[in-house]
């Protein structure tokens, strides 16, 4: 959109919570950034990574020693300044699920720094009985190596300020989270976005979010958007054992780069038979009681509810939905074998990419610069390509050489682009 004078945009801070459709919404926002901009919605920072840097700055996160990549000092203020620059956008969206973890001081700083923009807080919430197994899997993706029963005891029975419970309740205790943010905006500008059940249409969560922003949901294309990769119980157990074997001295940035981003998100999903982690019956009554407490609080808080609060209440336990007991060693060994094959497939793919890059670099060293520039231009411009082909045919005719056949239908190039043969029959995630 062309920059035009006008009032600053309304800012929607989508603060979380984790495992409540945030990955789906963020993927959809960023894959449709251009269309959303045309509809008046600004995604400041230019990428999700830049918004992550800004939220780390706001939260006061210290980088680990030797952590690669740019730091984030001042990144929040840079993001705020971009929002305030005249752009013609009616709305700006900052979305990162860990924003809900900031303390009261951080929440006050965030809202105050955005003045004079009208600030809205968006908190997405989910059925607690579904959330708990999903959150345990997320903990395992972040190096946690205790089993589900141990983790549940810490959440349900342990002190809320210790162990796994400390982070879980910091982001999922709805009265506590909104109590840190709500003093800084009117109650009607605090929006609770309920996550639809599993049987709901896939796009319903986006329709609710788009309605909150005041845009037509059809502006965004949902076809290329995917939710966070979900692991089966077996895959989660295998990852948990990998975590137990990792050197305690390995930095978290390296763990995230290799284990979370590669093994957990790209290689493991689909390596075993599907099977959700069930919430044990002994904790279901507790989850229902806690969910009712949150819903009762929301009904009296006066905040805007986008969706249906009843969606936060656990329903009847699902029927047969995969295994009811933790997977045994034989199943884990089978999944581990297929996971190793998946890693080998990925190594071979990277080797092919490196070889292609090496060949391209050698060719660049051998090719004169003017000729190299002409080649690159022709690859990007159809008119230059036609001129280059015509010149080549002319030179061949002047030399008395019959020119070879014209351009093919592309089958040769397509064959060269075919990926290497996968070693694993389960190489493609389900």
Q: Report the CATH number at residue 80.
A: 3.40.50
Q: What is the pLDDT of residue 106?
A: 96
Q: Which structural domain range is residue 85 located in?
A: 10-130+160-226+282-323
Asked if the structure places residue 390 within a domain, the reply is: no
Asked if the structure places residue 1 within a domain, the reply is: no
Asked if the structure places residue 259 within a domain, the reply is: no
Asked if the structure places residue 203 within a domain, the reply is: yes
Q: What is the pLDDT of residue 4?
A: 58
Q: What is the pLDDT of residue 78?
A: 96
Strand order across the beta sheet in which 10-16 lies: 41-42, 91-95, 10-16, 119-125, 190-194, 304-306
Chain mean position to CA 134:
15
Look at residue 400 and give its three-state secondary structure.
Answer: coil
Q: What is the pLDDT of residue 359?
A: 83
Q: In whole angstroms, what is the distance from residue 74 CA to residue 77 CA? A: 5
pTM for this structure? 0.78
Look at residue 413 and give its three-state secondary structure.
Answer: helix
Tens of pLDDT, residue by residue over 374-383, are 666 666 666 6
Asked if the structure places residue 426 within a domain, the reply is: no
- In 3D space, the residue among 312, 311, 292, 295 whose CA is nearest the CA of residue 303 turns out to be 295
**What is the chain's alpha carbon radius of gyration, rounded to the nearest angstrom?**
26
Q: Which residues pair with 318 in a beta bridge?
A: none
Tens of pLDDT, residue by residue over 304-332, are 999 999 999 998 766 544 456 788 899 99
How many separate domains does the chain show? 1
Tokens 């990277």 map to which residue? Answer: 350
Sites in the chain below the pLDDT cut of 70:
1-5, 226-229, 317-324, 367-430
| Alpha-carbon distances of 326 from 61, 322, 336, rounded to whole Å | 36, 11, 16
């Amino acid at each position: 959109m062309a920059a035009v004078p006008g009032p600053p945009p309304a800012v929607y801070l989508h603060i979380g919570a984790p495992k409540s459709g945030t990955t789906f919404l963020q993927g959809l926002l960023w894959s449709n950034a251009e269309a959303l901009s045309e509809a008046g919605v600004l995604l400041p920072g230019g990428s999700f990574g830049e918004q992550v840097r800004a939220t780390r700055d706001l939260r006061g996160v210290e980088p680990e020693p030797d952590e690669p990549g740019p730091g984030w000092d001042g990144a929040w203020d840079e993001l705020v300044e971009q929002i305030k620059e005249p752009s013609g956008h009616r709305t700006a969206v900052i979305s990162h699920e860990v924003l809900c973890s900031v303390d009261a001081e951080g929440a006050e700083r965030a809202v105050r720094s955005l003045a004079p923009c009208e600030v809205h807080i968006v908190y997405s919430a989910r059925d607690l009985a579904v959330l708990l197994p999903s959150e345990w899997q997320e903990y395992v993706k972040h190096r946690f190596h205790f089993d589900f029963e141990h983790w549940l005891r810490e959440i349900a029975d342990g002190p809320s300020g210790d162990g796994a419970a400390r982070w879980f309740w910091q982001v999922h205790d709805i009265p506590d989270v909104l109590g840190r943010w709500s003093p800084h905006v009117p109650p009607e500008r605090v929006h609770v976005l309920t996550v639809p059940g599993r049987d709901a249409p896939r796009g319903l969560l986006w329709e609710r979010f788009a309605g909150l922003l005041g845009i037509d949901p059809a502006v965004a294309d949902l076809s290329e958007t995917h939710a966070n990769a979900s692991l089966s119980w077996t895959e989660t157990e295998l990852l948990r054992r990998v975590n137990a074997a990792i050197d305690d001295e390995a930095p978290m940035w390296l763990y995230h780069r290799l284990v979370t981003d590669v093994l957990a998100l790209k290689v493991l999903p689909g390596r075993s038979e599907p099977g959700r982690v069930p919430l044990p019956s002994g904790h279901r009554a507790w989850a229902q009681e806690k969910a009712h407490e949150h819903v009762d609080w929301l009904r009296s808080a006066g905040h805007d509810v986008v969706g249906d609060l009843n969606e936060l209440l656990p329903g009847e336990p699902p029927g047969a939905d995969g295994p009811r007991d933790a997977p045994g060693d034989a199943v884990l060994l089978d999944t581990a074998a297929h996971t190793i094959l998946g890693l080998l497939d990925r190594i071979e793919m990277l080797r092919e990419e490196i070889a292609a890059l090496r060949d391209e670099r050698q060719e660049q060293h051998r090719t004169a610069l003017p000729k190299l520039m002409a080649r690159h231009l022709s690859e990007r411009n159809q008119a230059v390509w036609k001129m280059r082909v015509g010149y080549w045919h002319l030179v061949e005719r002047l030399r008395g050489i019959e020119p070879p056949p014209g351009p093919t239908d592309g089958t040769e190039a397509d064959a060269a682009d075919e990926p290497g043969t996968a070693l694993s029959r389960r190489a493609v995630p389900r």
